[in-house]
């Protein structure tokens, strides 16, 4: 997937920002298809953005939901100065219309209608330490949870040793272009997986 994206960008057919915008649009489409009631009226979302391009997708999703009249709170895990360029650009776009808070180690998300998990995607190659309380707070919120690409903490290649890694709760995972090996395990666990095309 990373090679396909890099080749498309190198060819000049599409930019990284365009792919990120399409990914965010795909997630918003998928969540309204999965939960039509969320497509009616304004709701409340908590968007959790990570330190990479997965977080950039989260900023796009936040902006698109705000455009629909939603109340949107955005938390960023990590140093904003170290975001990749496309993710930083989308953070700047969001900051024109909303605020970004840090993600506390012991968060209280309240009772949002939706939590967007855009913390870590297919680039994660290690277990997440110190995220158990965050994942527990997500589960305790009672919100529906959509994961961008994968639930944070899931290992994209589906390696057997990753089975005991802590992973975020998830009701719907929206991935792009094609499923990754880990999605078979998500389906087997009864989670809904949707693939959205982004023009690759």
* Prediction pTM value: 0.94
Query: Quick one: tokens of 56?
Result: 């950039």
Q: What angle do CA 145, 148, 154 make, to 5 degrees?
A: 85
Query: If you search the block for the tokens 């880990």, which residue do you land on?
Result: 182
| Structural domain spans, the chain | 17-196
pLDDT in tens, the chain (200 residues): 888 888 988 998 899 999 999 999 999 999 999 999 999 999 999 999 999 999 999 999 999 999 999 999 999 999 999 999 999 999 999 999 999 999 999 999 999 999 999 999 887 767 777 888 999 999 999 999 999 999 998 877 766 554 556 789 999 999 999 998 889 888 888 999 999 999 88
Q: Burial level of 166, CB count in 10 A (0-12/13-18/19+)?
A: middle
Distances (CA, A) of 81 to 56, 59, 88: 13, 15, 8
Q: Output the pLDDT for position 166.
A: 78
Rounded to an integer, what distance in angstroms lies between the CA atom of residue 62 and that of residue 93?
10
Q: How many CA atoms lie within 13 A of 47 on its CB side?
A: 29
Domain spanning 17-196 has what CATH number?
A: 3.40.50.10260
């Amino acid at each position: 997937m990373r090679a396909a994206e890099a080749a498309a960008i190198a060819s000049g057919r599409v930019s990284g920002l365009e792919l990120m915008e399409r990914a965010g649009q795909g997630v918003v489409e998928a969540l309204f298809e999965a939960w039509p009631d969320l497509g009616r009226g304004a709701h409340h979302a908590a968007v959790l953005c990570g330190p990479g391009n997965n977080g950039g997708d989260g900023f796009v999703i936040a902006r698109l939901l705000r455009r629909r009249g939603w109340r949107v709170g955005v938390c960023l895990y990590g140093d904003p100065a170290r975001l990749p360029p496309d993710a930083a650009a989308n953070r700047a776009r969001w900051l024109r219309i909303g605020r970004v808070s840090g993600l506390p180690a012991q968060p209280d998300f309240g009772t949002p209608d939706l939590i967007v998990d855009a913390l870590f995607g297919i680039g994660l190659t290690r277990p997440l330490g110190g995220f158990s309380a965050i994942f527990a707070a997500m589960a305790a919120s009672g919100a529906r949870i959509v994961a961008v690409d994968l639930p944070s903490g899931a290992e994209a290649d589906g390696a057997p040793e990753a089975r005991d890694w802590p992973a975020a709760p998830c009701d719907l995972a929206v991935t792009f272009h094609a499923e990754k090996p880990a999605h078979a395990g998500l389906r087997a666990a009864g989670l809904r997986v949707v693939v959205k095309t982004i023009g690759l």
